[in-house]
Amino acid sequence: MAILKIARMGHPVLAQKAQMVEDPTAPEIRRLVRDMIETMIDANGAGLAAPQVHVPLRLAVFQAPEDRAEQRLSEAERYDQTAPLTVIINPEIEIAGPEMEGGWEGCLSIPGMRGFVERPAHVRYRGVDHEMRPIARTAKGFHARVLQHELDHLDGILYPQRMRDLTKLIFESEAKHWVPAAEAEE
């Protein structure tokens, strides 16, 4: 396994639509998946798409751990808002409701920055993993957000392109100023 170099905003691989994976079980795909997982964990990321490691294929890895879900959720709701370490190849996504939800996002390809992005709050998605096992899930909350963020990479979209208000594109080091300001508004 190897830690892969992460492409940064401005690299052409991040601006192009990724190609379908012809054989999800191919040895080179399995190796890529292992290396991507290791790279994501090493970088302390919640997800990583193949274009972020200079490979323009429709493949992503992500996780939505339980500690990122709201504590007041019922067990049924928690299932939709959390996800184990997941490998998804050639994914398809469908918006499952009209509700939008805003949240702060970061990206391994835009280090040191955070942006406030509004996304559909409820989605359904499907694809296969590197063993050709089908994946079909419903996602809400952080699970939906991280999935949509990673799938955007497969279409050449970075989160600032989804932002409605670029005054909410900030350095991570300045995020501490936003929490007290948001609490004061309530």
Residue 101 has, within 13 A of its CA and on its CB side, a CA count of: 18
- Domains, the chain: 12-185 (3.90.45.10)
User: What is the model's pLDDT at position 65?
Assistant: 75
How far apart CA 162 and CA 74 sit, in angstroms, is: 30
Positions marked catalytic = 150
User: What is the model's pLDDT at position 73?
Assistant: 47
Kindly list the averaged pLDDT for each block of 10 residues, start to end, along the chain of length 186: 96 98 98 98 96 98 73 50 92 96 96 97 97 96 96 98 96 81 50
User: What is the model's pLDDT at position 67?
Assistant: 62
Q: The dihedral of CA 170, 101, 150, 13: what is its sign?
A: negative
User: What is the model's pLDDT at position 178?
Assistant: 74
Counting other chains too, the contacts that 30-33 makes at CB distance below 8 Å and 24 or more residues apart are: 30/130, 32/57, 32/59, 33/59, 33/61, 33/87, 33/130
User: What is the model's pLDDT at position 167?
Assistant: 95
How far apart CA 159 and CA 169 sit, in angstroms, is: 10
Write down the residue that tokens 């989804």 correspond to.
Answer: 162
Residue 142 has, within 13 A of its CA and on its CB side, a CA count of: 21
